[in-house]
């Protein structure tokens, strides 16, 4: 297969003089700005091509790049058709970079070179920071971290939309202030992207190269979902070697861009989902020299995969606040809700989580109060659905959060009449879903009070001084956002506080049964897979703190190592143990009930149950 012509000037290594140690030609990376990709193209000679008839499989080529500050990046090459191999690389700082080529093609092995990277005002790549938040890899002029306010949109047809539609969607999302776009690398069904385990559709990948480049140029990070589910990957790439080559191919092509890796859309859809996710996540860790953030999509939560130590953040596929609020207190990673529900703005509803604009907006702001970053989705695909009420509400969300120290806001519980996140002594952000009286305990200061309409971002301002704010929204026709911020801090606080100014610590979960304020009343006996069973938690002693409780019920068969599953939420109802919780039955399942009180304190109880089919 013949690949597309390279964008950057090629270095044709077959033309080097025999025995040369250092590259004779000028590097195509000379004067490349930091965080912009450049390419080195290697062409197999006829003799080498005869020795390596399938370059995708049997050519090993990589280069170790050394920065002006002696940081090293080992970047693999990707096959790009015929006898062409490409090393794509983005320098991460200005100055002289040196590199050395390693290959099983003798005429390339050991070659060295250098180039000068140009300065750039790019903020760098996205990285996890400050426990639950995000920053860029580059610091600002004062040496401070640059916070990143993650706001995503979903366009599953990232690789398959026609060019005009893709450009229109990207332009619209950029204008709406989205800075992430999430989509599939491999589609489902025919034309997935590989015709055989080692036969990528190069035209598709060239198109995806240019689309990711276009997004990055607009300040948008590409959130790459490798495939819809584990089964698709196992079918396309039945051997570990084939899967490793697939991941290496993706890393070689896409890691030099500003991206995140999002595994599969739903890891729970296959009994081998956890194991396969761990395998692919390990390959990403091994191959990606830029260490872009990694996670997996999930129908509910990907947090069960965190103990495998390949993920940098957890992703949600639910708007259930019991899950998000409690897990935020359990894990020291950022959380991104990649599926709050899809807004129906004209394309119609096809699932239970396809919602109207108002419901989507409510879910958006409640997820924010759970401490999550957010991703928008529409039931329709393409530019005709881009300018929807939900997208406009996302822009309003971005504007509100941009005027806060969002990288330090954590869930806050001294509030009645709403839900809140806060940086205590500085600012308090409250979501009032059902308009009425609101009370917020604050540090004693003078405050600017902003009532914000989350539909369009319009603001009503007032003043307040004291330590106990009480007020009501301007009207009761819709939900409201309340921002209580110390006087004079809206404009100046970004300069007056460093990014790392507050240490965020997770609480210690209370599991002493004598101190846990609730008990497990049901289930009362053995459980059967797929058969609904009642569950119930009972408060042992009523207090002000237990007046409002959130509950999360999870089950895990530790012997099979498939990870826990969320079985239910709330104080009582009916739960069903899924078949995918174990490989063999009967088996013992550990049931854990987390409860979080009105003060944000989390408790845990454990019981064991026999599970049968």
Enumerate residues 6+ apart whose C-beta is below 8 A from 165.
382, 383
| 416 lies in the same domain as 472 | yes
199-200 and 221-225: which strand pairing? Answer: unpaired
Residue 499: what pLDDT? Answer: 62
Q: What SS3 string covers 51-118?
A: HCCCHHHHCCEEEEEECCCCCEEEEECEECCCCEEEEEECCCCCEEEEEEEEECCCCCCCCEEEEEEE
Say how far apart CA 409 and CA 413 lie, in whole Å: 12
Say how far apart CA 463 and CA 473 lie, in whole Å: 14
Query: Of 495, 527, 547, which marks where a domain is finished?
Result: 495
Say how far apart CA 280 and CA 272 lie, in whole Å: 12
CATH assignment at residue 560: 2.60.40.1080
Say how far apart CA 386 and CA 172 lie, in whole Å: 7
| 270 lies in the same domain as 241 | yes
Q: Is the residue at 564 inside a domain? A: yes
Q: Is the residue at 502 inside a domain? A: no
Q: In which element (H, E) is residue 536 found?
A: strand 533-539
| 176 lies in the same domain as 322 | yes
Are the C-beta atoms of residues 372 and 421 closer than 8 Å to each other? no
Could you tell me the two tokens for 461? Answer: 């301002």
| 81 lies in the same domain as 176 | no
- Quote the number of domains for the chain: 4
Diameter over CA atoms, the chain: 84
Enumerate residues 6+ apart whose C-beta is below 8 A from 334.
128, 131, 132, 133, 134, 150, 312, 313, 314, 373
Say how far apart CA 135 and CA 152 lie, in whole Å: 15
Taking the CA atoms of 253, 40, 258 and 277 in sequence, report the sign of the dihedral they define: positive
CATH assignment at residue 466: 2.60.40
Q: Is the residue at 142 inside a domain? A: no
DSSP state of 23: -
DSSP state of 257: S
Are the C-beta atoms of residues 185 and 225 closer than 8 Å to each other? yes
| 65 lies in the same domain as 165 | no
Residue 269: what pLDDT? Answer: 87
| 161 lies in the same domain as 70 | no
Nearest to 269 by CA among 239, 240, 311, 232: 232
Enumerate residues 6+ apart whose C-beta is below 8 A from 106.
none
Q: Which residues pair with 96 in a beta bridge?
A: 116
Judging by beta carbons within 10 Å of its beta carbon (0-12, 13-18, 19+), is residue 346 exposed, middle or buried?
Answer: exposed
Could you tell me the two tokens for 542? Answer: 């009523």
Query: Of 370, 397, 424, which marks where a domain is finished?
Result: 397
pLDDT tens for each residue of 311-357: 999 999 999 999 999 999 999 999 999 999 999 999 999 999 999 99
Say how far apart CA 438 and CA 396 lie, in whole Å: 22
Residue 27: what pLDDT? Answer: 78
Say how far apart CA 248 and CA 286 lie, in whole Å: 9
Q: In which element (H, E) is residue 170 found?
A: helix 163-175
| 393 lies in the same domain as 414 | no
DSSP letters for 496-520 = HS-TT-S---PPPPB--TTT-SEEE
Q: Is the residue at 30 inside a domain? A: yes
DSSP letters for 185-201 = SS-SSTTSSEEETTEE-
Three-state SS for 461?
Answer: strand
Query: Of 92, 117, 142, which marks where a domain is finished?
Result: 117
Overall size of the chain counted in residues: 613
Q: Is the residue at 511 inside a domain? A: no
Phi and psi (nearest 5°) for 449?
Answer: -115, 125
Residue 20: what pLDDT? Answer: 34
**What residues in the chain have per-residue pLDDT under 70?**
1-26, 190, 489-503
CATH assignment at residue 323: 3.20.20.80
Enumerate residues 6+ apart whose C-beta is below 8 A from 560.
581, 582, 583, 584, 587
Computed over every residue of the chain, the mean pLDDT equals 92
Judging by beta carbons within 10 Å of its beta carbon (0-12, 13-18, 19+), is residue 232 exposed, middle or buried?
Answer: buried
| 211 lies in the same domain as 349 | yes
Range of the domain at 61: 13-117
| 293 lies in the same domain as 363 | yes
Q: Is the residue at 139 inside a domain? A: no
Q: How many other C-beta atoms lie within 10 A of the C-beta of residue 421?
A: 22
Query: Which conformational region is residue 157 in: left (phi greater than 0), alpha (psi within -120 to 50 degrees), or beta?
Result: alpha
Q: Is the residue at 302 inside a domain? A: yes
DSSP letters for 291-307 = ---B----SSBSGGGGG
Please report, for residues 388, 512, 529, 592, the alpha-carbon distance to residue 609 in angstroms, rounded to integers and kept in the order given. 47, 20, 12, 11
CATH assignment at residue 17: 2.60.40.10
Calculated CA dihedral for residues 150, 152, 158, 162, nearest 10 degrees: -120
| 106 lies in the same domain as 162 | no
Are the C-beta atoms of residues 180 and 36 closer than 8 Å to each other? no
Are the C-beta atoms of residues 402 and 372 closer than 8 Å to each other? no
Say how far apart CA 130 and CA 612 lie, in whole Å: 43
Are the C-beta atoms of residues 445 and 381 closer than 8 Å to each other? no
Catalogue the E-assigned strands of 118-179. 126-129, 133-139, 145-147, 151-154
Say how far apart CA 506 and CA 572 lie, in whole Å: 27
Nearest to 605 by CA among 510, 508, 506: 510
| 163 lies in the same domain as 303 | yes
Q: Is the residue at 505 inside a domain? A: no
| 204 lies in the same domain as 301 | yes
Are the C-beta atoms of residues 249 and 62 closer than 8 Å to each other? no
Tell whether pTM > 0.75. Answer: yes
């Amino acid at each position: 297969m013949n690949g597309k012509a390279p964008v950057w000037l090629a270095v044709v290594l077959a033309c080097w003089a025999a025995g040369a140690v250092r590259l004779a030609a000028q590097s195509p990376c000379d004067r490349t700005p930091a965080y912009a990709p450049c390419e080195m193209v290697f062409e197999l000679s006829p003799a080498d091509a005869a020795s390596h008839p399938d370059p995708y499989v049997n050519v090993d080529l990589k280069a170790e790049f050394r920065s002006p500050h002696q940081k090293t990046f080992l970047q693999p090459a990707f096959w790009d058709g015929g006898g062409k191999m490409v090393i794509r690389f983005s320098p991460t700082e200005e100055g002289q970079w040196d590199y050395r080529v390693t290959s099983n093609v003798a005429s390339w092995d050991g070659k060295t070179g250098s180039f000068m990277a140009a300065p750039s005002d790019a903020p760098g790549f996205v990285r996890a920071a400050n426990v639950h938040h995000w920053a860029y890899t580059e610091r600002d002029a004062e040496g401070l971290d640059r916070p990143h306010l993650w706001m995503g949109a979903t366009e599953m047809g990232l690789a398959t939309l026609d060019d005009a539609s893709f450009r229109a969607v990207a332009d619209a999302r950029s204008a709406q202030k989205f800075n992430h776009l999430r989509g599939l690398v491999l589609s489902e069904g025919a034309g997935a992207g590989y015709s055989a385990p080692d036969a990528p559709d190069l035209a598709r990948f060239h198109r995806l190269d240019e689309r990711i480049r276009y997004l990055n140029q607009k300040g948008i990070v590409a959130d790459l979902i490798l495939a819809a589910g584990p089964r698709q990957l196992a079918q396309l790439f039945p051997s570990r070697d084939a899967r490793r080559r697939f991941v290496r191919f993706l890393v070689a092509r896409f890691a030099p861009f500003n991206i995140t890796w999002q595994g599969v859309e739903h890891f729970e859809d296959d009994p081998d989902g956890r194991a396969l996710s761990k395998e692919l996540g390990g390959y990403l860790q091994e191959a990606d020299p830029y260490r872009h953030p990694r996670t997996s999509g999930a129908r509910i939560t990907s947090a069960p995969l965190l103990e495998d130590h390949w993920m940098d953040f957890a992703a949600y596929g639910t708007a259930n606040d019991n899950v998000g609020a409690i897990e935020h207190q359990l894990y020291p990673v950022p959380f991104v809700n990649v599926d709050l529900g899809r807004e129906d703005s004209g394309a119609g509803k096809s699932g239970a989580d396809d919602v109207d604009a108002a419901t989507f907006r409510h879910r958006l702001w409640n997820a924010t109060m759970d401490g999550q970053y957010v991703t928008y989705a529409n039931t329709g695909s393409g530019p005709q659905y881009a300018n929807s009420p939900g997208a406009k509400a996302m822009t309003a969300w971005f504007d509100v959060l941009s005027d806060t120290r969002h990288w330090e806001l954590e869930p806050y519980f001294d509030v009645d009449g709403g839900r809140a996140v806060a940086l205590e002594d500085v600012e308090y952000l409250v979501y009032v879903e059902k308009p009425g009286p609101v009370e917020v305990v604050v540090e004693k200061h003078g405050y600017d009070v902003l009532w914000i309409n989350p539909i369009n971002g319009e603001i009503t301002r007032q003043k307040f001084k004291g330590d106990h704010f009480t007020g009501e929204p301007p009207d009761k026709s819709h939900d409201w956002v309340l921002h209580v911020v110390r006087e004079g801090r809206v404009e100046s606080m970004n300069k007056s506080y460093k990014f790392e100014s507050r240490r965020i610590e997770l609480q210690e979960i209370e599991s002493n049964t004598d101190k846990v304020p609730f008990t497990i009343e049901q289930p009362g006996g053995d459980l059967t897979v797929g058969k609904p069973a009642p569950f119930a938690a009972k408060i042992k002693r009523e207090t002000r703190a237990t007046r409002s409780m959130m509950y999360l019920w999870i089950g895990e068969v530790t012997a099979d190592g498939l990870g826990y599953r969320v079985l239910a939420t709330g104080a009582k109802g009916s739960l069903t143990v899924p078949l995918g919780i174990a490989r063999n039955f009967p088996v013992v399942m550990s049931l854990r009930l987390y409860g979080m009180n009105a003060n944000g304190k989390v408790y845990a109880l454990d019981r064991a149950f026999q599970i049968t089919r």
